[in-house]
Structure 1
């Protein structure tokens, strides 16, 4: 593999824990994933699956009380976990941009948009105030905000949710980073605005060759924009592969259950109800060993509570952590046929 073909981001055997001693809780278990240059990778799963923590490890922004206990996080071959605090600030300023879920909580409500964008540009790029203002107008234009000079004079509450999210994308793009991390960037938006923001992210990738790691609980969002998908549950990666592989032939019962729960916009048959994921919700049963999805899996066997989690090939680079994927797949097909 040449340096050009190597992954831009490589996370290997990542573990993140909270607390100490008997009260220690592991929130992310042995997670490995890659993001290639100019690739959009979706990280999908229910709330509490460890998606955001995994992404925050790239920026070393783990919440208070938590810490990365093992693993490697490499960006362009550089081990980020070995960097000093000052070196990490440089990474955040110039190499990795991040867009959070709710732009209203990420923007200072007491400052005009222009002040926030211009001061960020000056702090990270050493630009004069006038050069920073010109660059701010360019960025707002690139993220398709109409009347950008007028918007610079506005306060966050004077912009719609979609415009605020575009401002956050502009801020994340300010230093032309190699990697953009988007953590649930469309959850707070209506459907039409959501589609516009997703199209914007795709266009940015196409025009700039920027890699994107997109966090979502919505399989529809991931399908609309991503090249590959990584499915997480209970802090583990349970399946990964291309969009075509995972959507066309989901191998893990959890992935199948998520896809079965996606709303169907066609008119369903009379009496049809979309199948829900059975069993206790995520986090209500303490994890001890084996597959964390076993308490909710209708196809679980006794061994599922003790067999170590291990991603194995299904076909090519399509991986699953379920050793009984073939049997579960046949069972899911029967259940889907029965309820429909």
Structure 2
């Protein structure tokens, strides 16, 4: 008998969130003092609502973190437990090197897709082996994990929890990931591994400074089965204007499984942020993380932050919106959702 499977929506009940902690051996070394408080704010917000898995290559730093976070959780009477595992890693983008969890007739199953740093852009060997390290160490309890011999990053897919997966052709069809797989083969892969019954492809949209080849989680997100929020650029002189306008037109043409159009909510467009060399950085409010009872929203110390908070309150009225200043994160070309990976209820059983 065929086992049914589904990729849960992010708003489904969760058991844990994973963080791969930055350290001096990563590209964060020059701004470690700026970026660690961002990770700490995410960690504390998670522990207030569910378990937290952290790994770090530097064992002494990890031990200090475990003590500090466990003491914080006890002092605040928080429900979350800290699961700290020493493990080598090239970088900190858990969304893309972490396991993807599906729910089957037999319970949750972790899928360990291969990771090659967004098409071989950076070193990746440690990141590609990280999930096996964590699984061997018992981070996920008794939940089984299966290796999948294809490249797939968590930030490249969005699920409504009911069989629809949304993605971008710019990312999933890039030859440097799975050169032997065309669009049809990719759809078959998503069906076989994630239980997708429909795939919605966006062919337009990008963010300057993004290394991921237009990950969907920087551009458009499900906030309910019938509702998508997305980035839009109101400035005709901005380099993003035409591509994001074309993406908006595509979203307007998308239909739900029953044929109805989606509710669509545009997100604010933050002021341009540049690094010291003048390169534009990929600030986006779409890179939020939904957890139990809350949404962790990246903000960037720009005037549009306040509007973004209000928009998210409207999208998730039953959840607390927790703004976290992620301006340090975008200096390495990602944001809040990119450094996290959630696990549905039952997947992490410490």
Higher Cα Rg, which structure: 1
Larger % of helix: which?
A: 1
The answer to whether TM tops 0.5 is no
